[in-house]
C-alpha cells in the first residue's frame, strides 16, 4: 500500500508540475503575443523608413535608428528578411513552455522575457510558486533515481563486492551515464539542429544544466533555420530531467 501510495503521489506531482508549466505557457502566450506583434510591425516600419531615406539621414537620426534597432533585437524582434518572418512569434506555445521552464528552473537566459505589465506581474507570481514546485519535483525525481542506485548497490553487494567499492562504482555509473545522456548525446543533436560545433553544444548543455544561463547560446533563435514543432518543449523537458540528474549526483 505504501509503495502504491508513493507511486500515486509521484505520478500526481509529475502531472501537476507539467500542467503548471503548460498553464503558465498558455498565459504568457496570451499576454505577450499581441504586444510582440505590435513591436514587429513597428520594427518593420522603422526598417522601411530607413531604406527610403537612408541617404538623407543626419548623424543624430542614424544614431537614433541604431538605438531603436538594438532595442528591437534585445526584445527578440529581428527586422531581417521578408514580411513572412514577422508572422512567426517568439510567444507560440513551444517558446512559451520553454520560457516557463527556464523561469521555474531559475536559468533565465534573458533572451526572452515578458514586456507587458500583465506578463511581468504574472511572471512574479508564476516564479513565486513555480520555483518551490520545481525543487519538490527535482527532489522526487532524484529520490526515484536514488532507488535505482540502491537496487544496483544491492545487486553488487549480493555478488560479494565491498560497500566502499559499491559506492564508488554506483557514483561512477550514474556520473558516466548522465554525462552521456544529458551532455554528450544532446550536444550531437544541437550540432545538427542548430549548426553549432560539438564543443559549442557541450558548452551550451553545461551552462544550461548548471543554471548559469549566460544567454549567449540559446536554442531555436536562428532566423535562417527551420525548427520542428515543439522543439523547444523537448529541450525544456531535457533541462528539467538534466537538473534532476545533477540533484541525484549531489545526493550521492
Q: Does position 181 have pLDDT exceeding 80, yes or no?
A: yes
Interatomic CA distance for residues 47 and 172, integer angstroms: 55
* Domain boundaries for CATH 1.10.287.70 within the chain: 100-251
Cβ neighbours of 41 (radius 10 Å): 13
Residue given cell 504574472 in the structure block? 122
pLDDT at 26: 96
pLDDT at 187: 96
Q: Does position 171 have pLDDT exceeding 60, yes or no?
A: yes
pLDDT at 1: 61
Q: Where are the alpha helices (DSSP H) in the chain?
A: 2-53, 59-74, 93-104, 117-158, 163-178, 185-194, 198-209, 231-251
pLDDT at 148: 81
Q: Does position 179 have pLDDT exceeding 80, yes or no?
A: yes
What is the mean predicted confidence (pLDDT) over 9-25? 93
Residue count of the chain: 252
Q: Does position 197 have pLDDT exceeding 90, yes or no?
A: yes
Interatomic CA distance for residues 170 and 164, integer angstroms: 10
Interatomic CA distance for residues 230 and 232, integer angstroms: 5
Interatomic CA distance for residues 125 and 130, integer angstroms: 8
158: confidence class by pLDDT, cuts 50, 70, 90: confident
pLDDT at 165: 85
11: confidence class by pLDDT, cuts 50, 70, 90: confident
pLDDT at 56: 75
| C-alpha distances out from residue 50 to 60, 67, 71, 81, Å | 13, 13, 16, 15
Q: Does position 225 have pLDDT exceeding 90, yes or no?
A: no
pLDDT at 188: 96
pLDDT tens per residue across span 49-91: 777 777 777 878 778 878 877 777 777 677 666 554 556 788 9
What is the mean predicted confidence (pLDDT) over 25-37? 91
Contact indicator for 104, 130 with CB cutoff of 8 Å? yes
Looking at domain 100-251, its CATH class is: mainly alpha
pLDDT at 116: 92
pLDDT tens per residue across span 81-130: 655 455 678 899 999 999 999 999 999 898 888 989 999 999 999 999 99
224: confidence class by pLDDT, cuts 50, 70, 90: confident
Amino acid at each position: 500500500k505504501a509503495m502504491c501510495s508513493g507511486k500515486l503521489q509521484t505520478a500526481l506531482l509529475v502531472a501537476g508540475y507539467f500542467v503548471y508549466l503548460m498553464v503558465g505557457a498558455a498565459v504568457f502566450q496570451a499576454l505577450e503575443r499581441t504586444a510582440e506583434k505590435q513591436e514587429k510591425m513597428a520594427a518593420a516600419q522603422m526598417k522601411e523608413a530607413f531604406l527610403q531615406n537612408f541617404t538623407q539621414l543626419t548623424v543624430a537620426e542614424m544614431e537614433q535608428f541604431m538605438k531603436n534597432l538594438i532595442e528591437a533585437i534585445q526584445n527578440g524582434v529581428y527586422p531581417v528578411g521578408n514580411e513572412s518572418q514577422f508572422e512567426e512569434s517568439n510567444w507560440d506555445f513551444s517558446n512559451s513552455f520553454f520560457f516557463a521552464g527556464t523561469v521555474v528552473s531559475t536559468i533565465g537566459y534573458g533572451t526572452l522575457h515578458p514586456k507587458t505589465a500583465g506578463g511581468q506581474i504574472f511572471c512574479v507570481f508564476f516564479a513565486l510558486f513555480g520555483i518551490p514546485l520545481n525543487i519538490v519535483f527535482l527532489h522526487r525525481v532524484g529520490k526515484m533515481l536514488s532507488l535505482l542506485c540502491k537496487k544496483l548497490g544491492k545487486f553488487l553487494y549480493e555478488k560479494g563486492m565491498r560497500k566502499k567499492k559499491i559506492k564508488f562504482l554506483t557514483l561512477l555509473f550514474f556520473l558516466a551515464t548522465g554525462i552521456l545522456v544529458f551532455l554528450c548525446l544532446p550536444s550531437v543533436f544541437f550540432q545538427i539542429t542548430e549548426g553549432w560545433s560539438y564543443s559549442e553544444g557541450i558548452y551550451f548543455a553545461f551552462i544550461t544544466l548548471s543554471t548559469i544561463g549566460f544567454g549567449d547560446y540559446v536554442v531555436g533563435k536562428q532566423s535562417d533555420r527551420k525548427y520542428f514543432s515543439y522543439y523547444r518543449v523537448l529541450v525544456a523537458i531535457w533541462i528539467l530531467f538534466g537538473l534532476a540528474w545533477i540533484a541525484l549526483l549531489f545526493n550521492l
